[in-house]
Amino acid sequence: MIPVRGYSGHKVAVLGLGRSGRPTVAALLAGGAEVVAWDDGAAARAAAEADGIPLDDLTKAKAWDGAKALIVSPGIPHLYPAPHPAIRAAWDAGVAVDNDIGLFFRSFATPAWQEFDRMPSVVCVTGSNGKSTTTALAAHLLAATGRPVQVGGNIGRGALDLDPAEDGMVVILELSSYQIELARALQPDIAVFLNLSPDHLDRHGGIGGYFAAKRRLFAEGGPSRSIIGVDEDEGRFLANAMREEAGTGDPVIEISSGRKLDRLGWSVFARKGFLAEWRHGRQQASIDLRAMATLPGAHNHQNACAAYAVARVLGIGPRQIEASLATYPGLPHRSQIVGEWGGVRVVNDSKATNADAASRSLGSFERVRWIAGGRPKEGGIEALRELFPRVAKAYLIGEAAGGFAATLGEVPYSVAGTLDAAVTAALTEAEPGDTVLLAPACSSFDQFASFEERGERFEALVRERLAG
């Protein structure tokens, strides 16, 4: 745990008592703050009360007497589509609103760092797709060299639940737009922007607000090194904004999946399955990614470029990185190969919760038995139309099934309704050379509590079916 600094003896309110809220309460208490908390869920309140956490309804004006700050969990709207009533109450009381990421950056560095031989570093990774894989892969590359590393934020442990720094430690935080937008302090040493596609638009008032939230990590965070994907205009804009020296590109490293970046400056890109590093107009290294089963497809090659760039900034050599890339085990529910039976490959990409993420999966395989659907995102699957020739048949589930069926047109499909029925049908009809792919292009919340639960159910169904 990282004790929160700056609130000793002061009252601090915490809204939301989930994966980030509970560690936030503990870290505030460890720093000497007086905490009062609230959650809209009765079960979460009961669990907190049983653990001795003081509760008060933060939507009531009286709860704000003497309060210095409100710390909000990322899932709670603070502006769009409408602010939570407790946030409005904090505004009315003149109380500063922050989140656990802001507290982390205020509290991670301590006077004890003066005794370290090597200063700790904080790497922050954001983007619409690939954040978790890039974060985990970068951590894998660093850990393989013996460097102490921790991962947290939007993956694994909450930021304040991490351990205090030790000599030379690297903390890699995966950060969503929700987390970046509200944080009052942002101070990454290295910041990574992967890509941008429409997502969470209701929470940001549109695509411009969504990009503005992610841009804060760079514009207000002021990283020493910015690693930026330039395959979309937003990334090119951001890279240009972060450059300080014309011609050299410093302090930006551009990354791409599919574009050759051989201009002056520092770049890492992947083309035709090969990762290349260029500096000052000359190639420095090349790595063959084609045989790396846990990094299939162009989207994972972009993730590899970003993680490679992080490792290079932190002093790891290309050959060390190449050896470690080959041993990366992959992350659950992200283009995860469940197995191959009778010439049929089964892939779990439950984390593909929007059309852009699903396009990256579909583009990685030639003949797909595609399980798709759930709670639909804005735009549906219209953007995937050019990939429909890869779909041997679609098996549609959840609330999106009807809309997806209308979009598919002449692509063979069946409305399975449930994941159980879709898996049974897809595995029954699959032929050698097919890939049975769960890439829903939807959130899971119509039938499952999370994409993890959906992915775990998919894997269990596959194994049950094949065992029987």
Task: Give the residue from 189, 78, 176, 187 showing the smallest Cα distance to 131.
Answer: 176
Pick out the residues of the known binding site for ATP: 127-133
**What is the radius of gyration, based on Cα positions, of the chain?**
23
Q: At what angle do helices 233-242 and 207-219 cross, to 10 degrees?
A: 30
Pick out the residues of the known binding site: 127-133
Task: Give the residue from 256, 231, 226 showing the smallest Cα distance to 241.
Answer: 226
Q: Which amino acid is at 83?
A: P
- Look up residue 55 and give its DSSP letter: B
Strand partners, 8: none
3-state SS class at 282: strand
3-state DSSP percent of the chain in helix, strand and coil, to 5: 35, 25, 40
CA 397, CA 400: separation in Å to the nearest integer? 7
- How does DSSP assign 308-353, residue by residue? HHHHHHTT--HHHHHHHHTT----TTSSEEEEEETTEEEEE-TT--
3-state SS class at 41: coil
Cβ atoms of 298 and 257 within 8 Å: the answer is yes
